[in-house]
Amino acid sequence: MTIKIRPEFELDRIRNSWTISDDGILMWISGFKTGKPVSVQTTKRGHQTCYLQVDGVLKGYSVGQISWFLYHGSWPMKEVDHIDSNPKNHKLENLRLATRSEQCRNRISGKAGRANKGVYKREYGNKWSAQIWVDGVCKNLGTYSSEDEAVEIRQLATELLHKEFANTKSYRVGV
């Protein structure tokens, strides 16, 4: 995702139209909708977009970026990451700036329907492999005789290599 620099007149329009509540809800502060929540569109993955007319043009914004801007007073120059991996939770304490690589580290799961991110059953024998991506490089963590062993190694590697962006919520041992 490329971060779009917003001109000052556009930021002023946002500042004069919306505010963010303590519980992370985007609210109108001007016009006939004053005090009401801003309408948002939510994708299947939960990411939210809101729209505002600026100089006669309807513009779409990530609610995460708008939330960051309203909390901090400056447009985010990186991606806005939701710490708890819930893209609908726009509370101040749940937002942080991240690179694309850091965003990917905080993903809950790599593939739909796959129980354990980075753990795969080998086609030969009854073996399990573990791997992890770090800064665009796939690192093989070895092959193990059980899924639980591979999951344990993957979790440890996640905590060690992904640091504050480590997300181990999706791992399920004994699945």
Confidence bin at 175 (pLDDT 50/70/90): very low
Higher pLDDT, 44 or 50: 50
How much is the mean pLDDT over the chain? 87
Amino acid 103: pLDDT: 76
Quick one: what percent of the chain has pLDDT higher than 70? 89
Query: Cα(95)–Cα(66) distance, rounded to whole angstroms?
Result: 11
Higher pLDDT, 77 or 175: 77
- DSSP assignments along 43-100, one per residue: -TT--EEEEEEETTEEEEEEHHHHHHHHHHSS--SSEEEETTS-TT---GGGEEEE-H
pLDDT digits (tens, 9 = 90+) for 5-42: 899 999 999 999 999 999 999 999 988 899 999 999 99
